Chain A
């Protein structure tokens, strides 16, 4: 009986929870250590802190373990965790000009201040299955490290400094469009108040910084491919650590630590509305936690497109981009379809049955002859 089956709701959800745990451990393999996940699944952790919107790599690693590696689910766990934390300070704005560079490339110039630094990237590795990984041992890792470190000249570390940005070059030459006077520069906190449209740039960038990588990529790609027309150039893509500071209650600026971020500055020619106006370059900005080139780049593209509103192409439409790239919300709502809907369905079914009956009886009303008046004047 349908009704009796539903009565077992509590048992069913507890058993389902137990089963999912069973599936995680049933092979009896060595438990994954959180430190292992942090270290060896670094990019998954970066994705989780980025989409979860909390810079807490260690907790992200726990969430990944708990969620059997499902990045969406892990980011969701991290987001829910935020609500339980007290918010004591707002950080001072980070300065990416003082970034300790791990990676820094520019596609727009052959040489840039400080040179091109490829850094840790999988871009030029051939995607050939490395079956040797199957037999990897701790000794192999140690041997690799030893060899790697033996080639480092630690004396040069002091020379590592901070570098000027590519956009500074363009700015100096007067090629960069300055921020328009009509740009809404209000500072919003999207975690404390609901986003309203048109949203200021601060809210748009915050939303995208927590958005789901795949969602941003789909829309960013669509703009480059033809739905919209932004095909920008990477002025600079940086990945590295920046110092984080807060202002204490006494008003003193305090250094609290370093966070790793990826920053993308995308440039493309800005269409000018007035005839004869100089076609300056506009900048699209992307920044996210951890190393995630794709996300930062697509964020940069969409920052550009949203500043040129055009309802005919989705990437140029604020509401379309921001609502639908929010991974935790879209995942939740998409999956809510699995909940029982029998009351809701019954309500529609009742209408459809009546309409089908009317149409088969061929007594569809001759509507135009009916003078229909609203009961309440709107």
Chain B
């Protein structure tokens, strides 16, 4: 007798069907071959809402294998609600191993932060991207921005940085500071803080970017130069926390979260949850280092 299977839901390994995964991997190869270039792709529908990390999911699910160790972070935290949800979904579709520990992970999917701990050659770092087009703030039409990239016509972008300086005395771009990749394409690094920008350049790890809603993939291959846009006399800088330290660990060379307690007082704490746990436990850490961090007193 044929079993009654009408409502029995069976899902392919890693949810997406194999031919679509293959298509995504092909597009990723193209992205890696042209650093910083946005490659259009199919962006299949996910059971996670558009704008909640579908692009990152596509990349992760197309790459993940049974032996992978997965870490998912959101705004620096492994335990944030959306990170938990995505991790559970990927885990249930693959039965892969998951971890909070940056060092143990082979695949790291992140929303808007690079880990404080330095990444290695055998790791792949996947960014969720809400708006892949760095020129969108100066040009609303997609067909025009594609043309501007094609011709490396970035004049409007430079003018907007200049105007920001004239109005406010500084380049007022916060998260998602535009960068130039390999001397060619201007790229949106996803809304990571400026703190993380220097860690994109000449890194050992492969950085992949997935923008699901906008249906674009792009990449920064290992050992690629990534420069934040700056002028000779007006320089890019990372966030300054003044003399604030992490109230738990007294650490200064990590991106800090600002906390407000019930009595209205303000505290700072290390944002990267795994890094904080390790500092608190007195474990060995191997953080990123760059010239901007060198200026911060320990």
Contacts and interface: CB of A to CB of B under 8 A. Distances in A.
Nearest to B43: A194
A193 B44 CA distance: 9
A370 B232 CA distance: 11
Interface stretch (A103-111, A139-147, A231-239, A325-333): A325-333
B287 interface: no
A198 B141 CA distance: 10
Contacts of A79: 45
A13 interface: yes
Contacts of A3: 257, 259, 269, 273, 276
B17 interface: yes
Given A83-B15, A332-B52, A367-B165, A346 B82 contact: no
Contacts of B231: 372-375
Nearest to B49: A332
Given A333-B130, A336-B130, A192 B77 contact: no
B216 interface: yes
A360 interface: no
Interface string A333-360: 1111001111110111111101100110
B36 interface: no
A289 interface: no
Nearest to A189: B42
B49 A331 contact: yes
A184 B271 CA distance: 51
A378 interface: yes
B83 to A, nearest CB: 7
B152 A194 contact: no
Given A332-B51, A370-B233, A7 B79 contact: yes
Contacts of B193: 343-344, 346-347
A348 B142 CA distance: 26
A9 B85 CA distance: 9
A214 B9 CA distance: 32
A358 B82 contact: no
B39 to A, nearest CB: 9
Interface residues of A, number: 64
A359 to B, nearest CB: 8
A344 B52 contact: no
Nearest to A77: B47
Contacts, number: 204
B157 A339 contact: no
A8 B20 CA distance: 35
Interface string A248-274: 000000000000000000000000000
B180 A343 contact: no
Interface stretch (B116-124, B167-175, B199-207): B167-175
A84 B255 contact: no
B83 A328 contact: no
A347 B215 CA distance: 26
B143 interface: yes
B245 interface: no
A83 B52 contact: no
Given A319-B141, A333-B130, A9 B194 contact: no
A328 B45 contact: yes
A350 B42 contact: no
A6 B79 contact: yes
A364 interface: yes
Select the residue from A82, A329, A358, A373 with max chain B CB neighbours within 10 A.
A329
B75 interface: yes
A348 B194 CA distance: 10
B70 to A, nearest CB: 15
Nearest to A198: B143
Contacts of A340: 74-75, 80-82
B233 A376 contact: no
Given A336-B51, A373-B233, A194 B42 contact: yes
Nearest to A354: B170
A372 B15 contact: no
A83 B172 CA distance: 41
Nearest to A80: B47
Interface in B249-281: 255-261, 269, 271, 273, 276
Interface of A: 1-3, 6-10, 12-13, 76-77, 79-80, 82-84, 86, 191-198, 319, 328-329, 331-336, 339-344, 346-352, 354-355, 358-359, 364-365, 367-368, 370-376, 378
3 tightest Cβ-Cβ pairs between the two chains A and B? A332-B50, A194-B215, A333-B51
8 contacts: A83-B17, A83-B45, A84-B9, A84-B11, A336-B52, A343-B193, A347-B239, A375-B231
Given A194-B215, A351-B172, A354-B170, 10 more contacts: A2-B260, A6-B273, A10-B88, A328-B50, A331-B50, A339-B74, A339-B81, A340-B74, A352-B172, A368-B166
